[in-house]
Chains A and B, each alone.
Chain A
Amino acid sequence: MMTLRHQVYVWQFPVRLFHWVNALAITVLFVTGMYIGHPILDTPGEAVGNFFMGKVRFWHGLSAYIFIANMIIRLYWFWAGNEYSKIRLWKKEFWSDVVATFKYYTFMTREHVLHVGHNAVAQLMYLIFIWLAGLLIILTGLAMRGGSDPNGIIQSLFGWVVPFFRNEFQVRNVHHFLAWGYALFLLGHLYMVFRQDILDDDGTISSMVNGYKFELISPDAQEGRQDSLAKERENYR
């Protein structure tokens, strides 16, 4: 018997929107951020006629606020969204899945636990590289922005970050370091996405646009399943 594919609507619109806004924001933030760290271009002429660094900092700030707003909306969607939009760390199954998936990725076992949504290792990576690192990079970023307006709301909310890291140099350092975390994440993320799509042919890549993935039903698990699918077909007739 062949492997069956069953179409499932996995990524709801807000999740897909979050993904692409996030991708765009991170790209802009990384490029502008690296430029702020290493201004390699020199603008000739009078200072009066140029505002290049100023513009780069403006776009960095704007993308940062978009990034933050996007994260907040996604945070809401953890609660409001469907099953696939959640991370459930407190579940026993989550951690057993972490072990199983880790074994699969390290070729310790051939057994491939199939997921329609993210597997637990992927979820864990999002938690670390997007959510925890994101929180830290937002805090350090806002702390540095706040310094420009000593009596502003940002400084009163995030002023504690600088003494927490001892000095602003370290805040900046941590911010810069975390940026590389995103580059690392992107590398792993892209590899895993293409690998998944090629190996399982489950529509991982196209699902980022249209939201649909294909649930794989292996031959030995088809017994009862086929009946339900047949029933479904009956209903359509």
Chain B
Amino acid sequence: MSKTESYYQWARRKGVSRRDFLKFCTLMGAMLGLDAAEFPKIVQALQSKPRLPVIYLNLQECTCCAESFLRSAHPLVSDLIFNMISLDYMEVLQAAAGHQAEAVRLKTMKDHPGGYILVVEGSATLGDGGVYCTIGGVTSTELLKETAKGAAAVIAYGSCATNACIQGAYPNPTQAVPIRRVVKDKPIIDVPGCPPIAEVITGTIVHYLTFGTIPELTNQGRPKAFYQHRVHDNCVRRSFFDAGQFVESFDDAGAKQGWCLYKMGCKGPTTYNACAITEWNDGVSYPIKSGHPCIGCSENNFFDNTPLYTHLAKIPNNAIGKDVDKVGRGVIGVAALGVVAHAGMTAMVKHQDKKQETRSKK
């Protein structure tokens, strides 16, 4: 493929009809939450812009994000996007191995300085000089620094990259840190989730492609189009929450009726993600719809706020080891004892005072 070939030219060469191409553009527009007037911009961009080189790094992670990425649901999305971006380096998918693979990465970095997108899956490790994750003899942190230097933007893909996820949970033996802590001079887009929904990353990349800027971000630095809503606020079971109908155990009558999973430890009320809207695997379902409480995987430090199947308010505090209500009741109990003791002391003192008074009068 020549460097100047646009997406459209490339897609036509691959046998995609113009009709399918436009359908894809519409779909992406809808997924990015754009209005119809923006649709020509997407078409324009994909017709004129050369394919975007992408380097995909796998650092300290479990590859579940890559697995999710591969399941990018819509055929058009998976085929086109997946081939559309010029995915130059991705350990999981590339045929090359060893020095050959590293050479490809270095070539892309040299050919497109400041022009490629860096997608990072996994966290950087700072512990003991970063020895806990090395690739090709280089620590993941060094690799990240080196590759990020010439990137146009960095997409932190998955909770590992955005908040160090499970390996970053207390006590964090490898000192796993989010990408933001290492790469500081590049625009970073957080795409959290364990794993994130495939369409979210494809959508984020297309946004960058179309407008040449990073998408509008939420207060937590995530693409607003996908992460602005709470899972809870768009939940299929929300009506049961509002009605006050809760599943008490996984095999009770309420569970059969599809009642709210709030008391089964659902983190939907504190989780911002697109699960309830985009859903997973071509919109088949998402955890809550399938009867499993949300574990809040896209939230910072979600693995520190466990057990997963414990009701939100009953999750013990990490420092104290007890939940808020136990602490509260304990404090009130101690305070009540204190009040009784103080009242007793007051009565005693008062009594003594009176005795003294009567004595002095005599």
B220 touches A187 (CB 8 A): no
A188 to B328, CA, bound (A): 14
CB-based contact B218/A50 at 8 Å: no
Complex CA–CA separation, A177 to B327 (angstroms):
8
Task: Assess the A168–B272 pair: CB atoms within 8 A.
Answer: yes
Q: Does B244 contact A (CB under 8 A)?
A: yes
Residues of A near B243 (CB, < 8 A) are: 43, 47-54
What number of A residues sit within 8 Å (CB to CB) of B? 47
Q: Is the CB of B313 within 8 A of A38?
A: yes
Which residue of B is nearest A147, CB measured? B230
Q: Is B78 positioned at the interface, with any CB of A under 8 Å from its CB?
A: no
Known: A147-B272, A191-B339. A169 touches B267 (CB 8 A): yes
Assuming the contacts A107-B345, A150-B224, A180-B327, asked whether A42 and B244 have C-beta atoms less than 8 A apart, the reply is: yes
Tell me the bound Cα distance from A167 to B230 in angstroms.
Answer: 12
CB < 8 Å: which of A155, A168, A173, A187 contacts B271?
A: A168
Select the stretch in B67-75, B112-120, B293-301 that faces chain A: B293-301
Question: How does the 8 Å CB contact mask read for A75-100 relative to B, with 1 for contact and 0 for none?
Answer: 00000000000000000000000000
Which residues of chain A are within 8 angstroms of B300 by Cβ–Cβ distance?
A: 166-167
> CB-CB < 8 A to A147: which residues of B?
230, 233, 272
Find out whether the CB atom of A187 lies under 8 angstroms from the CB atom of B244: no
Complex alpha-carbon distance, A148 and B272, angstroms: 10
Nearest CB on A from B270, distance (A): 4
Interchain CB contact under 8 A, A41 and B244: yes
B359 to chain A, nearest CB (A): 16
Instruction: Mark the stretch among B23-31, B147-155, B198-206, B330-338 that contacts chain A.
Output: B330-338
Q: Mark B301-317, 1 if CB is under 8 A from A, else 0.
A: 11001000001110101
Whether B263 pairs with A162 at a CB distance below 8 angstroms is no
Interface flags, A32-73, vs B, CB<8A=1, else 0:
000001110111000111111110110000000000000000
Q: Is the interface of A mostly helix, strand, loop or mixed?
A: helix
B335-352 contact mask (Cβ, 8 Å, vs A): 1 or 0: 110010011011001100
- In A164-201, the 8 Å CB interface with B consists of 166-173, 176-177, 179-180, 183-184, 187-188, 191, 195, 199
| Interface status of A219 (Cβ within 8 A of chain B) | no
Given contacts A147-B272, A169-B270, contact A183 B299 (CB under 8 A): no
Q: Using a Cβ cutoff of 8 Å, how many contacts connect chains A and B?
A: 129
Asked if residues B242 and A173 are in contact (CB atoms below 8 Å), the reply is no
Measured CB to CB, the nearest residue on chain B to A180 is B328
In the complex, B262 has a CB within 8 A of chain A? yes
| A167 engages B335 (CB within 8 Å) | no
Q: How far is the CB of A31 from chain B (nearest CB, A)?
A: 14
Q: Is A131 in contact with chain B by the CB < 8 A criterion?
A: no
Indicate if A110 sits at the interface (CB-CB under 8 A).
yes
Contact in complex: B339, A187 (CB < 8 Å): yes
A224 within 8 A of B: no
Give the residue of B244, B311, B312, B346 whose beta carbon is less than 8 angstroms from that of A169: B312
A120 to chain B, nearest CB (A): 18
CB-contacts of B75-125 with A (<8 A): none
Contacts of B296 in A (CB 8 A): 167, 169
Closest to B317 in A: A173
Query: Which residues of the partner chain A approach B332 to less than 8 Å between Cβ atoms?
Result: 180, 183-184, 187
Q: How far is the CA of A170 from the CA of B224 in the complex (A)?
A: 22
CA of A110 to CA of B353 in the docked complex: distance in angstroms?
A: 9
| Residues of chain B from 149 to 197 with CB closer than 8 A to chain A in the complex | none
Q: Which partner residue on chain B sits nearest A149 by CB separation?
A: B233
- Cβ–Cβ contact B220 & A162, under 8 A: yes
Residues of B bordering A, CB below 8 Å: 218-221, 224, 228-230, 233, 239-246, 248, 254, 262-263, 267, 269-272, 296, 299-302, 305, 311-313, 315, 317, 324-325, 327-328, 331-332, 335-336, 339, 342-343, 345-346, 349-350, 353
Closest A-B pairs by Cβ, 10 of them: A180-B328, A52-B244, A159-B219, A150-B228, A50-B243, A54-B242, A168-B270, A37-B313, A47-B243, A53-B244
* Sample of 9 A–B contacts (CB below 8 Å): A47-B242, A50-B245, A53-B241, A53-B242, A107-B345, A110-B349, A150-B218, A159-B218, A191-B343
Instruction: List chain A positions with a Cβ less than 8 A from chain B.
Output: 37-39, 41-43, 47-54, 56-57, 105, 107, 110, 147-148, 150-151, 155, 159-160, 162-163, 166-173, 176-177, 179-180, 183-184, 187-188, 191, 195, 199
